[in-house]
Chains A and B, each alone.
Chain A
Amino acid sequence: AQSVSQHNHHVILSEAASLELGCNYSYGGTVNLFWYVQYPGQHLQLLLKYFSGDPLVKGIKGFEAEFIKSKFSFNLRKPSVQWSDTAEYFCAVTPYSSASKIIFGSGTRLSIRP
């Protein structure tokens, strides 16, 4: 079955630390890839997306992600986190063959110490 794995359930960092959240998916064909962010008490918002082209994509608020096809990975990075980045982060995949389904990972809760 198609699945998305996020390796870190809860990450705690200090402000200005660098961030990398892992995401791996299990599907061999063409995919669309997403990172969504959910701030406390709010709905999911798109952070960044990859459809095709340059595997390094930049999103809002200084986030970026790199698609490595050979590793089935789409890790999220940010060089220097801020307290306002405290949120839950979800990786998501849409396989081209079943494009009506967006498959989400279990999420990573990020807590930033001021």
Chain B
Amino acid sequence: NAGVTQTPKFRILKIGQSMTLQCAQDMNHNYMYWYRQDPGMGLKLIYYSVGAGITDKGEVPNGYNVSRSTTEDFPLRLELAAPSQTSVYFCASSYSGQNTEAFFGQGTRLTVV
């Protein structure tokens, strides 16, 4: 059982480049989330989705886009990378929003130079 799988694990981008962080889950979860983790700041919600075709902004959505065409996949797109987007990105999923726990992927460490 793979759980939540994120790729890549590490990436270095130059300012202005774009990339897509991949996230897939095999638990048939409806809810999926993208967080960024910065030192001493905890996890901040970027975007979330409550089902295929439905996405919504979290606390820090600027500079990012998402799509949810299938239940399994929830990619996060950075269009014009900026140094402020240097962070560790975690994808998570849960069966629903209430009375369930979230399962996290291994994270993607992104550096923008």
| Binary flags per residue of B12-48, CB closer than 8 Å to A gives 1, else 0 | 0000000000000000000101010000111111001
B79 at the interface (CB under 8 A from A): no
Question: In the complex, are the beta carbons of A100 and B31 less than 8 A apart?
Answer: yes
A contact residues around B105 at 8 Å (CB): 43
CB neighbours (8 Å) of A44 from chain B are: 43, 90, 92, 104
Number of A-B residue pairs with CB-CB distance less than 8 Å in the complex they form: 59
Given A99-B96, A100-B56, A102-B33, A46:B43 Cβ within 8 A: no
The CA of A11 and the CA of B22, in the complex, are separated in Å by: 35
Q: How many residues of A contact B (CB 8 A)?
A: 27
* B contact residues around A105 at 8 Å (CB): 42
> Cβ of B58 and Cβ of A104 under 8 Å apart?
no
Q: Mark A58-95, 1 if CB is under 8 A from B, else 0.
A: 00000000000000000000000000000000100010
Task: Give the chain A neighbours of B103 by CB distance below 8 A.
Answer: 46
The 3 closest A-B pairs by CB, nearest first: A99-B97, A106-B42, A104-B43
| 9 A-B pairs in the complex with CB atoms less than 8 angstroms apart | A34-B101, A36-B104, A43-B106, A99-B97, A100-B56, A102-B102, A104-B42, A104-B43, A104-B44
Contacts A43-B104, A105-B42 supplied; 20 other A-B pairs, CB < 8 Å: A9-B40, A32-B99, A36-B104, A42-B106, A43-B90, A44-B90, A46-B102, A49-B101, A90-B42, A94-B98, A98-B97, A99-B98, A100-B50, A100-B56, A100-B97, A101-B45, A102-B33, A102-B45, A106-B41, A106-B42
